[in-house]
Amino acid sequence: MLHYSTATRLTFKPPFVEKLYSLSPLWDIAKKIERICGLDLFSTEITLTSNGHFVVVDYINDQIDLRLKSKAVDGIPDDIVYNIAELLVNCARDRAGHEES
Position 68 pLDDT exceeds 90: yes
The half-sphere exposure of 37 on its side-chain side, counting CA atoms within 13 A, is 16
> So what's the pLDDT on residue 11?
59
How far apart are alpha carbons 96 and 77 in whole angstroms? Answer: 29
How far apart are alpha carbons 24 and 12 in whole angstroms? Answer: 10
More confident residue, 98 or 31: 31
Task: Summarize the confidence of residues 66-88 as an average pLDDT.
Answer: 87
pTM of the model: 0.66
> So what's the pLDDT on residue 56?
93
| pLDDT band with cut points at 50, 70 and 90 for residue 52 | confident
Q: Quick check: helix, strand or coil at residue 48?
A: strand
Q: Would you list the domain boundaries of the chain? A: 1-64, 66-101
